[in-house]
Structure 1
Amino acid sequence: MSKNKDKQQELDQEQFESAETQTVDASDEKSKASSKKEDHSEEDVQEKLQSELKQEKDKFLRLFAEFENYKRRTAKERIELFSTASEDVMKTLLPVVDDFERALTHLKGAEGADELEKGVDLIYQKLLKTLEQKGLKAIEVASGDVFDADKHEAVTQIPAPSDDMKGKIIDVIEKGYKLGDKIIRFPKVVIGQ
C-alpha cells in the first residue's frame, strides 16, 4: 500500500508539475499576447495623440491667421477713420467756401471795392489753406474734359456747340472736393450731347 501511495503521490506530483508548467506556459503566452496588445494599443494611442496634436496645431494656425487679419483690418479702419473723421465738418464748410468764391467773383467787377476784395480774398485763402492742411483738395475739372461718371456728377445735358465736345464737360457748376483719397463732393457739370 505504501507503494501505491508513493506512486499515487508521484503521479499527483507529475500532474501538478505538468499543470504548473502548462499554467506558466499559458501565463507566458497571455503576458506575451497582452504585451503585444499593449504595444499595439500604445501605438494606437500614440497615433491618436499625434492626430489630435496635428488638429490642434491646425486650429491654432487658423486662429492665429484670423487674429492677424483682424489686427490688419482694424488698423486699416482706424487709419481710414482718422483720415476721414472730419468729413462731416468739411462737408458743412464747403458751402461757405462756395460763398467766398461767389463773393470774390462779384467783387472783381465792382468799382471801389478793391480793399474789400483784398480782405475777402485773404480770408478765403486762409480758410482754404486750413482746409488743405486737414486733407481737403479741390478736384480740378476744366471745360473740354471727358465726362467720367465715376468722377463727375452730370447736372444736365445741353446740345454740344461742336461735334468734338459731345460727351465732354461744357461747364462746371460746382467744384468737387476730395478728403484724402475719398471724394466727399463730386463736381457738378454740364455735358454736351
Structure 2
Amino acid sequence: MGKKSKVEEMEEELNGVSTDENPELSEENGNLDKETLEDQKTSVEDQLREDLAKEKDKFLRLFAEFENFKKRTSKERMELFRTAGQEVMVSLLPVLDDFERALRELSKSEDKEMFKGVELISNKFKETLKNKGLEQIEVEKGDVFDAEIHEAITQIPAPNKKMKGKIIDVIEKGFKLGDRIIRHPKVVVGN
C-alpha cells in the first residue's frame, strides 16, 4: 500500500464526516456544517499552497546561490589560469634586465656579429614572454608621477618648474601580466 499525500489524507478526513456517524450533525444544521467542511477544505488547500510557495522560494534561492557559486569559481579559475605563470615571469624579469645591460655593453664593442646574435636571442626571449601575457609598462621621462603605477626610488630637485611632480629618470622598467602589475617601474621624481 502506497503512502498517501497530505491532501488525500485531509480529503478523506473531511469526506469521512457524515450525519450518520456524527449525531451532532442534523438536517437543520447540515447546510451550515457543509459550509464549515468547505471552509476547512479551502483552508487546507490554502495552507498547502502556502507551503508549496515557501518550498518554491527556498528552491529558487538555493538555485540562485548555486549559480552565483558557479560564476564565482569560474571567474577565480580564469584568473588563476591568467596569472598562473606570474611567479615564473617575476623570476625571469632579472634575466630580461641582464639582456638589456648586455646589449648596451655589446653595442660599444667592435664585434657586431656577437651583438646581432645576442640581440636575436634577446628579441626571441622578449617575444616569448609577450606571448605569455607579459607587457612592459611604458614610462617616459616627463610623464606625471602616479603612485598607483610607479615606484619612486628618490626625489631630486627638478631641473625646471615644468618637471615638478614628473618623472626625471627611469631606473628599472615595470611589467604587467594581464591586468595585474607584477613589477612597478622604479623612477626618480622631481620636486
TM-score scaled by length of structure 1:
0.82
* Matching residue of 1:190: 188
> Which segments of 5 or more consecutive residues in structure 1 lack a partner in the other structure?
1-23
CA distance, structure 2, for counterparts of residue 84 and residue 183 of structure 1: 11
Aligned to 1:86: 85
In structure 2, runs of 5+ residues without a counterpart are 1-22
Change (3 A) 1:100 1:30: same
Q: Structure 2 residue aligned with 1:181, among 179, 182, 185?
A: 179
Give aligned pairs, total. 170
Counterpart contact for 2:25–2:33, Cα < 8 Å: no
Q: TM-score, normalised by structure 2?
A: 0.83
- Residue in 2 that maps onto 1:102: 101
Name the residue aligned to 1:69.
68
Distance 2:122 2:136 in 1: 14
Relative to structure 1, the CA distance from residue 155 to residue 32 in structure 2 (aligned partners, 3 Å threshold; closer, same or farther) is same
Equivalent pairs: percent with the same residue?
58
Listed one character per residue, the Cα deviations across residues 153-188 of structure 1 (whole Å, up to 9, x for unaligned) are: 111111111100000001111110111111111111
- The 3 A distance-change label for structure 1 pair 122 and 36 is same
Query: What residue number does 1:15 align with?
Result: none
1:44 equivalenced with 2:79 (yes/no): no
Alignment-derived partner of residue 16 in structure 1: none
Q: Deviations over 1:35-87 (max 9, x none)?
A: 22221111111111111111112112212211221121122111111111110
- The residue aligned with 2:161 is 163
Computing the radius of gyration from Cα coordinates, the structure with the larger value is 1
Query: Which of the two has greater helix per residue?
Result: 1
- Distance across 2 between alignment mates of 1:25 and 1:106: 114
The runs of 4+ residues in structure 1 deviating greater than 6 Å are none
